[in-house]
Structure 1
Amino acid sequence: MTWKVDDPAIRQQLKSLMVPSTMKSVIVLVWDWIVIGGIGTVTWRIIRHAGWHIWSMLILCGALCAIATRQRGLENLIHEATHANLSARPWVNDSLAWVLACLPLGHNLTVERQNHVQGHHWHNFGVSTTRIFSGIRRLVPIGCRLPITVRYSA
């Protein structure tokens, strides 16, 4: 199934939304860590002051759920990094993803990128990997073996 936008004005608006912004990416990544640290600190202080009882356990459960949502947000940003959407510069994109999301969460950006392109773009939609890898080839480190056969066309 192909989705096509025929209106040039809508196409231009969509294109303007797809421009990577390094500053916005940094703000979102840092904000997620501030929220995680803040929730953890407040929860620790409440439990330390109030002790362990039913209310502190409920607060702890709520805090863990809130922290999990921010961790999921960081995983979504890792997904965006596989598409090089955190920054227009590949080395900045990968550095942000590695330092502020992948390493703290135990992910590997190179493996994420390979598995994502293979699974999401090939198996689910039947899209030729030739077109996809031609744009992402520069992002895969030299010497890194891709998990599928890739044929580049001119």
Structure 2
Amino acid sequence: MEYYAVEINPLPLDMDFSSFYEALYQITIPTDEDGEMFVVSTKEEQEELADYFNEMDLLVAKHTLVKVENAEVEPIFYDYGFKAREYYLYKDIVTSFHIVEGEPIQIEMALLQIQEDLLAFSNKEDVKEYYINKELQPLIQGYADAYKIVVHF
């Protein structure tokens, strides 16, 4: 499921924080937040928040996100996403895949190669979903071909 975020500049120290959040919560209640990042579940909520923050001259950027369920993250993860209460990756720069077929030893060997390129993985309904930089998809497919395993992106 996609999520959406609005990133803002740090709030000025002289700002009335209670008024800020009161007005924010009249627009929408974010599903998650982390400092300057407010996560919502619809594009419409994102647009409303962006308009609100833009009027206050706080808007930095809007992002489409992928929520990583039951996340196990690698140190490089934070170059591609962030953690609030949950883990999120920026959808425009990542892709995911899962392994659907292969001999167990071949899968294990492929994963040893793939490990150095992983951002995160999650266990979803007994299937591990692996997240990588989108530009590395051909490399991962090459590993899959070399180890005679099948991956689906």
Higher strand share: 2
Range of TM-score over shorter length: under 0.3
Q: Which has the larger radius of gyration?
A: 1
Higher relative contact order (CA 8 A, sep 6+): 2
Higher helix share: 1
When the two structures are superposed, what TM-score results if normalisation uses the length of structure 1? 0.26
